[in-house]
Structure 1
Amino acid sequence: MKVIKIILGIIAAIFLIVGIPIIINECYKANCGYITVWDGADVLGYYGAILGSIIAVATLAITIVFTKKQIQRDSFLKNGNEKWDRLKAIFMQTLSDINPMRVLKDVMDNGITDPTKAINLLQRYQLDCKIANDILNAHLNMVDYPKFKKLIDSIAATAEEFVSISQKEIDQYSDFRIWQHKDTASELLKAEKEHPGSFSQEHIALNEEIVEKCKSISYESINQQITLLNTEFVRLYEEKYRALLQLTGSTFEVISVETQQQTDNILSLKRK
């Protein structure tokens, strides 16, 4: 259908440019029929002026249409790029929030001297992981969501693994915090035994619980478990987190290509 329209257009153009002037010329060569006060050269000149005006108007109209579409294209591309850049920044911030190496460094710097601070850091990190997808979903509509579903699902699955390991570290630092009070608890119970009634029953029960708990834990075992968990964090970072970064890059690269294709289609003059 498109080829037929092109062929007919070419034939019509040839007829207007070549055919009609030939017809005019042949009519005046015969010098018969309706006689005019002007000759063939005048008619051909007049026709040429009219044809030239039509071509000029058509060219101007095409230029206006093309310029309008170019403006629409540039505006569409600009708005699209700004939109995807904003979303990419949000995704990168979310990935930064669940980056295990960030919290691992702070925990390793503070865990031994202040296990409570290490626990607080890990709990805040868990919160970041748990709300990661909620933040992403809040910035996506129903049309855009399918483009990011694979990436969002991967972030959610990886964040769950980070939460699981961080909880195990919290458990170890909680045991370490208890272990730090072992000697104090033992001294308190010894003083209570020598001087009954020196402390409240709640205080005594708490310290008895600490002493009992410390029978099954040791500094060496806690330190060993924390080291293993830190190693697991690093492994997941290298295998899963880096894969998330690559998937994020490839996802937005595909979107960029799609946006460019949609933008180029705006310049197409064909009817769909």
Structure 2
Amino acid sequence: MSSVAWSGQGSAIILVARSAIAAVPIAELERLRTLAAAGADGAWVAYAFTEQGTPSLREVVLGLLGEPIDEMLFVPLLLPMEPAFAAWLTKTLQRWRAEHPGPWPQLRIGSGIGEGRAIADLLAEQIEAAREACPVSQPQKASAAGSLVPAQKRRVLVCAGGPCMAAGADVIWGHLRNEQARLGLREAGEGTMSARTSCLGPCNLAPVLQVWPEGTYYGGVDEAGIDRIIVSHLLCGEPVPELAYGATGKKQTLRPKAAVSDRPNPGAGPVRGEEGCSKP
């Protein structure tokens, strides 16, 4: 739970940002959380990330289940506030609710800071700040330093095309990146790097990702699916057949969601796989 004072009842306010991993933007969000808490009349206030960053939105939302709150208020910190983002957030919350049956508080999504009454004053303040800022300096001489070619063997491509984004690719990408950092996947096993990409092709299997060098397509992936792919494919080189879709030459539809394996959680500590594959 947050360190912000909380009465243990009423509303939970969640400031929703896309991503941040550096200290400065996280400190900025911490300041915004403090400001929000000052006027929140004892409500619990947190920030969360839909993509890369800690805590993730999923972590915050699921962590609040069972707490004595009546509603969760989601405040998107985005400019512009894309209609697609609100639709995606709605679908994502509905999916989590279906995956975790039981009592839930009311879930409400704000319209975005661009719709606020104070936006004109905020813009005027920022225009004045730009007027008083130091001019951009002359360009410096380009560095002659070279670059290392990455040694990692594995690449995970996460589709960021329209259908995949609507199916929750943002949150899948964020979960993958957070796990990649937490588990040290760049160095673990044969090494893994990841990237978002434009359309990978099988849009009706969204959200889609592809793992190289095998070129394995995975469709309909959720956070639990990412965990399975990490343990089995990225660390042990064994694709997950329940989630994989091969090139059959025929149109395919999503299979019913397979039950999540009882393999160890990749975050549970050092374990040894059934076939001697080291997992963090």
TM norm structure 2 = 0.17
Higher Cα radius of gyration = 1
> Which structure is higher in RCO with an 8 Å CA cutoff and minimum separation 6?
1
Q: Give the structure with the larger strand fraction.
A: 2
Higher helix share: 1
TM-score, normalised via structure 1 length: 0.18
